Amino acid sequence: MKRELGITVKKDENFSEWYSQVVQKAELADIRFGIQGFIVHRPWGFFIIRKIYEYLEEEVEKQCHLPYLFPVAVKEDDLKREKDHAGFTPNVFWISEAGEKKLEERFALRPTGEAQIYPLYSLWFRSYKDLPFKGYQSRISAFRNEMTTRPFLRGREFLFFETHNVFNRHEEALEQIKEDLDTCKKVIGEKIKLPFLYFKRPEWDKFSGADDTYTPDTLMPDGKRNQLASTHDLGQNFSKAFNIKVKGKDEKEQFVWQTCFGPGIWRIMAALIGIHGDNNGLVIPSDMSPLQIIIIPITFSNKEAESKKVIELCRKIESSLKKIGYRTKFDDSEDTPGFKHNKWELFGVPIRVEIGPKEAKNKTVSLALRTENKKRQLKLSNLEKEIKKLLSKLDKDIESKANEYFKNNTRNSNSLKDLKELIKKYKGFIKVPFCSVKNDGEKCADILKAETDGAYVCGTLYPKEEKVSPNSKCIICNKKAEHTVYVAKSY
């Protein structure tokens, strides 16, 4: 039976199908679990995801966050306690039976962590001396009854990471917001090589229960916005709802100030697939790849003695590279060299080493980087020294290509007619003048969405909002424009 391997569509011609094929054929996830919105994370994909978690854990622990783990269950009363946050309840999964017996009190599977964690925070902290406190949960799932689902973009169960922080003063909370955005820069930008813009969300689109929400947003190749993370200034909304109070220096009780931060593990994975990948499959930063080096032997059935030397040399190189810390595999399967080449290119392995009788005789290797369409010859004695340089070059190639893709993806529009035309033919952000990002601007945002077949007001640029041109009018209501907002279709 013939094994189907390669990607059959071009990324820039049919991104949706290309994405689906990469997820399936590069063995990132399996959607055949049998319940819509619940996927199986396959080993190749889960290794990459585990790296995202590791990067985030390292960064937040540098900021003195402490790890903990709460149950997956949320009490119904707690979920409804903060009036805005109660908006999650229509989309949660309720547990109401155990076996054939009805439970006295139903509970929900967590849609996010606030209603789980904050009832305990009200018991943990008594004095201003107990603060600041920074805690986080990692490698967990959240559950929401999404009606449309897609691997790594939207699901009923999705991988989760969240920090929940408590402070004596609002100024400390605002500093934490800056640290969260710096974490996004270091992890999403520098380590995973994904470009993005920071936005302050409009008031009608902030996190339920937050005073303000800030997000790093990127663009997928189909032009849709992908929100990679969010950090929230919760003010005192949850501390008042959950009675989280401490005694201050003046011995008077005061409600605490809070923030929470949620990097989108799935969304980051989707962006890595979509932005870095090419027509042949995945492209992965070197530290994130499950394998960094694949060794492929070129042997011939009628040249047994030469083939034996090739195999011996492949095993020797595999052993030496593993000893110095590189994730290396010698592919000694019965597949043809061409099949192996295409497979590991599809899987995004950074370096491919090929060794045939000629290389074995001359003590050389043929080597290819995943980001290049050429092979280079290296002396065997120089291989270990060159590997580090080549992996660094691959990472720079990935970053440069991603930044080049992103930098020209913003346009300007000053009329609804022009915006509607741009939305149809142009894939990216569009800057427009807008009346208000307070709740009174929501009506204009709804009209904009309806007139453009689903484009969203993403927000204003942060931390430095762009100035509005003098005499600018709102693109919808024609009132004086107070802001320049970014508009895009969204996942």
What is the pLDDT, as a whole number, of residue 88? Answer: 79
Largest separation between any pair of C-alpha atoms in the chain:
89
- In this prediction the pTM is 0.96
Each residue's pLDDT tens digit, 414-426:
999 999 999 988 8
What is the pLDDT, as a whole number, of residue 203? Answer: 97
What is the pLDDT, as a whole number, of residue 2? Answer: 44
286-406 with 410-488: one CATH topology?
no
> CA–CA distance from 328 to each of 113, 295, 299, 345, 367 (Å)?
39, 8, 20, 15, 14
What is the pLDDT, as a whole number, of residue 1? Answer: 35
Q: Which residue has the tokens 């590069």?
A: 26
Query: Which of the 8 DSSP states describes residue 201?
Result: P
In the chain (491 residues long), the average pLDDT of successive 10-residue segments reads 74 97 98 96 98 98 98 94 80 95 95 96 98 98 94 97 98 98 98 98 96 98 96 97 97 98 98 98 98 96 88 97 97 95 97 96 96 95 94 98 93 95 91 97 98 96 94 96 97 91
Domain ranges of the chain: 15-276, 286-406, 410-488
Each residue's pLDDT tens digit, 175-194:
999 999 999 999 999 999 99
Pairing of strands 133-143, 410-412: unpaired
Query: What percentage of the chain exceeds 90 in pLDDT?
Result: 93
Please give the CATH architecture assigned to the domain spanning 286-406.
3-Layer(aba) Sandwich (3.40)
CATH topology of domain 410-488: Translation Initiation Factor IF3 (3.30.110)
The candidate with the shortest Cα–Cα distance to 112, out of 143, 139, 89, is 143
Distance CA 146, CA 162 (A): 20
Each residue's pLDDT tens digit, 437-485:
999 999 999 999 999 999 999 999 999 999 998 899 999 999 999 999 9
Query: Which of the 8 DSSP states describes residue 93?
Result: P
- Total number of residues shown for the chain: 491
What is the pLDDT, as a whole number, of residue 303? Answer: 82
The candidate with the shortest Cα–Cα distance to 281, out of 52, 51, 12, 11, is 11
3-class DSSP string for 164-229: EEEECCHHHHHHHHHHHHHHHHHHHHHHCCCCCEEEECCHHHCCCCCCEEEEEEEECCCCCEEECE
- Domain 15-276 is found in CATH 3.30.930.10: yes
